[in-house]
Amino acid sequence: MNDAQQAIAPGLKGVVAGETALALVDGGAGRLLYRGYPIGEVVEHGTYAQVAELLWTDTWDPEATLACGPVPAEVLDVLRRIPTHANAMDALRTAVSAWGAVHGVLWPPTVEQARALTAFAPSALAAFARLREGLEPIEPDPSLGLAEGFLTQLRGARPDPAAARALDAYFMVGAEHGFNASTFAARVIVSTHSDMASAVVGAIGALKGPWHGGAPAEVVDQLHEMGSIDQAEDWIRGTLARGERLMGFGHRVYRAYDPRAAALRRVAESQSHAADWLEKAMAVEEIALRVLAEFKPDYPIKTNVEYYAAAVLQGVGLPPNLFPATFALARHAGWTAHCLEQGEVDVLIRPDVRYVGPAERSLPA
């Protein structure tokens, strides 16, 4: 087949670009398996530390722990120089880059690098969040798990256990999801024999895009914009009639109800202090699914993970401007696991491209 005959898949849709043993994303059946384990069971019985070890080592370790790591003084100096109005994703990306330079991270990627980088990131984000409020960063407590340690560094006090558990559940469902844009970016970078820190910097850059990592914050905005539950249906119909996206619904892969959304809904329902907000979210979801079925009867659009991620993150008290960066914290386990897997494959990712420019020609006289 010559170049002109080769099929093109914009956005690589439908193209199998590699193999992975980390997660099965079954969009048609609405299943997500981490190394064979259903996400619902993982969230119900596991912790983020156990999920991370599973992804990194293919071992389910009931005794696995993962605490927030320290922020090197050099990285803290960099964070102090970032304007307080900067996007939190920019600050996290910059911090990871500085961390990689300070530690001299090299190829090949290792599990030790993965653990250290995943532990460092929450402390860096918490430090920036406090600095922009005019507060000093707090040293991490090595006795606390990652989610609890992050909230403690963020607020200066240990969180309610239910809030820590809810955020840990969010970290679990956000840990890994196949060859999504940010994960694929990380694998491309590692495939060049660049280091894990550089790969995660690239992944954060990809996740910063609102089509990938910004939806939970936009869900909150939409729920506020539509007003009361009685006004929701008119607002939703108007939004769809204008051809605008309804955030929190639909997914590039899932045609059934997103299993991560189902797991997070159960977590959100356990947060009694977020009951009023959650009641509205659940009522709006029912209306939205009904209206979407009318607008797209032949194309199933179901609730995705961002919808109930918004409920959980709002419930634990995080400001919406930290939602995308908190998603990045969760995804560190998956990004770094894919770096390890790509390092084992050790093949440069370099797809072909079809040239559609002018034919060969001479420069004008």
- Are the C-beta atoms of 186 and 365 separated by less than 8 Å? no
Question: What distance lies between CA 53 and its chain's CA centroid?
Answer: 18
The two structure tokens encoding residue 5: 């005959």
End-to-end, the C-alpha distance of the chain in Å comes to 38
Identify the active-site residue in 53, 148, 285, 306. Answer: 306
Q: What is the C-alpha to C-alpha distance for residues 331 and 204, in angstroms, rounded to an integer? A: 9
Q: Which residues pair with 25 in a beta bridge?
A: 32
> Residue 306 catalytic?
yes
Tokens representing residue 152 in the block: 């403690």
For residue 94, give every residue at least 6 positions away whose Cβ sits within 8 Å of its Cβ, in sequence order, or none. 78, 79, 82
Cβ within 8 Å of residue 19, ≥6 positions away: none
Catalytic residue, chosen from 251, 332, 338, 341, is: 251
Question: What count of other Cβ atoms lies within 10 Å of the Cβ of residue 359?
Answer: 5
Catalytic residues: 251, 306
